[in-house]
Structure 1
Amino acid sequence: MTSLRSALLGLCLASVGFTAYGQIKIGQTTGVTGAVAATVKESSLGAQLYLDATNAKGGVNGEKIELITLDDKFDTKLAAANARELIEQRGVLALFMTRGTPHTEGIIPILDQHGVPLVAPSTGAMVLHQPLKKHVFNVRATYQREAERAITHLAATGVNRIGVVHVDDSFGADGLEGTQKGLTASKLTAIAISKFDRSKPDFSQIAPAMAKLSPQAVMVIGSGTAVVDAIRALKAAGSGAQFVTLSNNASGGFIKLLGDDARGVIVSQVLPQSQNYALVQEAATLAKTRDILEVSPAMLEGFASAKVLVEALRRAGPKPTREKLQSALENLGKFDLGGLILTFTPTDHTGLDFADLSIISASGKFRR
């Protein structure tokens, strides 16, 4: 009977998402190891900076925030399994900063089943914006906006021979659609479009074929090590193209992986880097307390995401439930992150619309 009562209590806590022992439990499944580990490390550090600072001041409504992170190794099936464990067994109040487009898509039915909000998925997939996903609250802009912005910028500088290499999954298709929008707006057509397998990227045939066409620029849509391998393969095949990739690779770890091949690569951004923004100043100040001298774009995304989560928890009130947090998020309205206005309403969970471009300098830094 004691075991039965314990099991029932656990199920009750998991179903309604109550906090326990003065802590608010938030769950995260992400690629701590695997292809995106370098960027995940930085975005998680940025989030933890803000969460730790919040906890140091007494938490939210007197309760500390506990972030429970499970490694899904950037595997879609493991991401879904982790989400189910976090929700059904660990009783988390919400999920936070999942990583990857197909990974997050696979989690949505679990969110809907249990009424669990997901705050700030680390993906800009349009499918998470339109049509509205009731339990998904995006912070960053869409990949399509980023890709379109990058292509129109290239066209404006006189680049008209553009190739595309993209991963063969929903993320790749989404980025390709944004790229096509930019090409159409610039009255251009891609000289070639090639796709690669997500689980086993192979550029042995793609790279020589693309290089042979002498593109002025190549948009590479993929994640982490796959993009690094694609750029190196294209260079080895003799391509002197300008390489462009999206903000999912906007981390110092990505630059480190590229090594000597990093210089001149264009990376789109979904948050500003200028100290003119109070958000950037706030993140930099907290980072210095950890002896971190520079906040990378990935760190800033994590920081901003945590700031949105904490504000929603505050508005959900003491002893928040999943339902109260969902309501707080839907009615957040206009929230100033620090020079950037994020908006959530019951019919709009898009968040921010900021998109810009950066280039990796000779010193290995992102520069506008």
Structure 2
Amino acid sequence: MRFTPWLRRAAALAAFSTLSWAHAQILIGQTVGITGSAAATVAESMKGAALYIDHINARGGVGGQKVEIVSLDDKFDPKLTLDNTRILIEEKGVVGLFMTRGTPHTQGIMPLLDQHGVPLVGPSTGAIALHKPVHKYIFNVRAPYQREVEKAITHLNTLGVKRIGVVHVDDTFGADGLAGAQLGFKANSLEALFVEKFDRAKPDFSAIAPRVATKEPQAVIFIGTGAAVVDGIKALRGAGVTGQIVTLSNNASGGFVKALGDQARGVVVTQVFPSERSLNHAVIKEAMDLARARNAGELTPAMVEGFVSAKVLVEGLRRAGAKPDRAKLHAGLESIKNWDLGGMELNYSATDHSGLTFSDLAIIGPDGRFRR
């Protein structure tokens, strides 16, 4: 197997120029769906992380050592995620792992993290199972999906929207999102108008969409990933569903908006970071300035997630001291308390690896931008 350095792969995917990695000294591993249904959002999150990692390496790296993130394509397939993780840990000898994507994918590698004592920073999933109970080697950055869904239902209820249904992927991610929806319904004294689930491997909405249309929902919470959600939204609209569509932050990318095309306008997407155009948060301004300096285009929510997660990784490496290893990185991450990463405070401890708690809602405007 030929290993392509992460940022070179990111450059190919996102048309983003990066530094040479020939002399990198700190190896961090990543297994992620460079291809597959989540590819568009993955490319943007990698691009955002690259902004910060490039910046740090240009200034000499961490403790004089440059950071290399070696990324392998798991095609958004949990089995490949597990295989890639074994390669990264056992063959490549990475110090830590970074920004895996997908709930079943991340849950599937937890035994390997335990076995080898490898910290995972910033998994790009808000599964509550990664927060509670605390997993020793998983350091979350973003808030849980359940908080996102509950907030969305509460917001809809305040607008007088009561007839709300749920369409979710039939896997652990979908079950987690559904649990959050149930909490939201209960908190607002509502009941789900309907609950429909679709197959993760072969999503088919030909029967689901007409059934949903007969219910005449005012809103549909759509829990799934990338291409499947795009196809599902188009199928719902094609069947005559006119209610509000709400999906989760894992779809908060420009690629998702582009794939939706004419159906994008008005879709609500939950968010777990401040607006990519908010100058009120220093971390956003920092990312904007670096993006502008590298002609990387406008920030997207997915880029912000990658950027912030990279900042957390680098802070953990700094606190790990000279010649960081897996144990030192773990200790360094757990020492992060009351850390201001730019208008957002992050805390870890031995009993709390949840990271940030921020959540918000955005709607896709006619210009394809996320509006708060």
Same fold (TM over 0.5): yes
- TM-score, with length taken from structure 1: 0.94
Residue 158 of structure 2: aligned partner: 156
Q: Which runs of 4+ in 1 moved over 2 A?
A: none
1:293 Cα deviation (Å)?
3.5
The CA distance in 1 between the partners of 2:31 and 2:24, in whole Å, is: 23
1:218-297 matched pairs, under 5 angstroms: 218-273=220-275, 274-297=278-301
Amino acid paired to 2:143: A
1:321-360 matched pairs, under 5 angstroms: 321-360=325-364
Q: Does 1:365 align with 2:363?
A: no
Superposed CA RMSD: 0.9
Amino acid paired to 1:217: A
1:41-80 matched pairs, under 5 angstroms: 41-80=43-82
- Partner of 2:354, secondary structure, is strand
The CA distance in 2 between the partners of 1:163 and 1:230, in whole Å, is: 14
The CA distance in 1 between the partners of 2:85 and 2:340, in whole Å, is: 30
Amino acid paired to 2:200: R
Q: Does 1:166 align with 2:176?
A: no
Q: Does 1:216 align with 2:180?
A: no
Residue 33 of structure 1: aligned partner: 35
Deviation digits for residues 108-127 of structure 1 (CA, Å, limit 9, x no counterpart): 10010000000000000000
Residue 107 of structure 1: aligned partner: 109
Unaligned runs of at least 5 residues, structure 1: 1-19
- Partner of 2:149, secondary structure, is helix
1:198-213 matched pairs, under 5 angstroms: 198-213=200-215
Indicate if the aligned counterparts of 2:30 and 2:99 stay in contact, CA closer than 8 A: yes
Indicate if the aligned counterparts of 1:32 and 1:73 stay in contact, CA closer than 8 A: yes
Larger Cα Rg: Structure 1 or Structure 2?
1
Amino acid paired to 2:369: K
Amino acid paired to 1:23: Q
The CA distance in 2 between the partners of 1:265 and 1:314, in whole Å, is: 40
The CA distance in 1 between the partners of 2:319 and 2:50, in whole Å, is: 20
Indicate if the aligned counterparts of 1:30 and 1:40 stay in contact, CA closer than 8 A: yes
1:11-22 matched pairs, under 5 angstroms: none
Residue 141 of structure 1: aligned partner: 143
- Partner of 2:160, secondary structure, is coil
Deviation digits for residues 234-260 of structure 1 (CA, Å, limit 9, x no counterpart): 011011010000000000000000001
Residue 122 of structure 1: aligned partner: 124
Amino acid paired to 1:347: T
- Partner of 1:141, secondary structure, is coil
Deviation digits for residues 36-71 of structure 1 (CA, Å, limit 9, x no counterpart): 000000000000100000000000000000010000
- Partner of 1:82, secondary structure, is helix
Deviation digits for residues 131-183 of structure 1 (CA, Å, limit 9, x no counterpart): 01000000000000000000100010000000100000000000111111111
- Partner of 2:61, secondary structure, is coil
- Partner of 2:312, secondary structure, is helix
The CA distance in 1 between the partners of 2:131 and 2:192, in whole Å, is: 26
The CA distance in 2 between the partners of 1:63 and 1:29, in whole Å, is: 23
Deviation digits for residues 271-295 of structure 1 (CA, Å, limit 9, x no counterpart): 0012100011000000011213321
Residue 17 of structure 1: aligned partner: none
The CA distance in 2 between the partners of 1:223 and 1:126, in whole Å, is: 17
Percent sequence identity over aligned pairs: 63
Indicate if the aligned counterparts of 2:23 and 2:66 stay in contact, CA closer than 8 A: no
C-alpha distance 21-44 of structure 1, shift in aligned 2 (>3 A) = closer
Amino acid paired to 1:332: I
Amino acid paired to 1:283: A
- Partner of 1:351, secondary structure, is coil
The CA distance in 1 between the partners of 2:296 and 2:75, in whole Å, is: 26
1:21 Cα deviation (Å)?
6.3
Amino acid paired to 2:352: D
1:323 Cα deviation (Å)?
0.6
Q: How many aligned residue pairs are there?
A: 349
Indicate if the aligned counterparts of 2:24 and 2:68 stay in contact, CA closer than 8 A: no
Indicate if the aligned counterparts of 1:22 and 1:62 stay in contact, CA closer than 8 A: no
Residue 312 of structure 2: aligned partner: 308
Q: Which moved more, 1:283-292 or 1:34-43?
A: 283-292
The CA distance in 1 between the partners of 2:326 and 2:337, in whole Å, is: 19
Indicate if the aligned counterparts of 2:282 and 2:343 stay in contact, CA closer than 8 A: yes
The CA distance in 1 between the partners of 2:366 and 2:136, in whole Å, is: 44
Amino acid paired to 2:100: T
